[in-house]
Amino acid sequence: MAGRKQFDVDEALRRAMHVFWRWGYSEASVDRLTEGTGLGRSSLYGTFGDKSTLFRKSLQRYAQTYHPLYDQALSGPHPSPGAVVAAYLQVTLNRIADPMVPDGCLLTVSATQIPALDAEGRAMVHAMIDGLRAMLEQALLAAGADDQEAAELALCTLATNKSLAVLSRAGFSGEDLATVAAAAAKNAKAPPNRPAEPSGPR
């Protein structure tokens, strides 16, 4: 049929996502995108729009693929805030260990290139990070942390997550990354001991 696309659009988007993931927005040239997707420029632009639009679609595809895994890991119940941190970071370690995807994290590398993104791209990156932070806070509250502890631990866990992504791109071993994740979980503050209820007759 005339005008019918002769390629798998979803697969092309997955491959474009990997190009942005590997190179970052700034270094994901049109040549790299066409090589990575196997599409010509006209097919690439005709299907996905300009580079900024393709980046946003790739970032959305990334979030749709990986963020539900964090949501599932945090659904609990978890016996302690440390268990929440461990569960969250294990998802990161699993993704990093996957030989079929680039090192690091698309959201992390995108955050490091915020100045190169357009306004919509910047807003997407911030919204996704904020969503993960809120997800963590809710799970930590459910595990017994108070409001302040949940906010602080969510931020520190998010920072550890991003650090793991950077370290993996720098060639640190899986064992090193697991050590970082385990230390973060171990150091997560447990809920403070509450004053005991007075015993005996009232």
Digit-coded pLDDT (tens) for 30-39: 999 999 999 9
For residue 197, the model assigns a pLDDT of 39
Count each helix (H run) and each strand (E run) in the chain, helices first: 9, 0
| Low-confidence residues of the chain: pLDDT under 50 | 1-3, 191-202
Under 8 Å between Cβ of 167 and 180: yes
Contacts of residue 126, defined as CB under 8 A and 6 or more positions apart, other chains included, come to none
Q: Report the pLDDT value the prediction gives residue 120, as an integer from 0 to 100.
A: 97
What pLDDT was estimated at residue 6? 67
Placement of tokens 């690439």 in the chain: 44
Please name the residue that has the structure tokens 């017994």.
144
Per-position b or e across 168-198, b if 16+ CB within 10 A of its CB: bbeebeeeebbebbbebbeebbeeeeeeeee
Give 104: exposed, middle or buried? Use CB within 10 Å, 0-12, 13-18, 19+: buried
What pLDDT score does 72 carry? 96
SS3 of the chain: helix, strand, coil, percent, to 5:
70, 0, 30
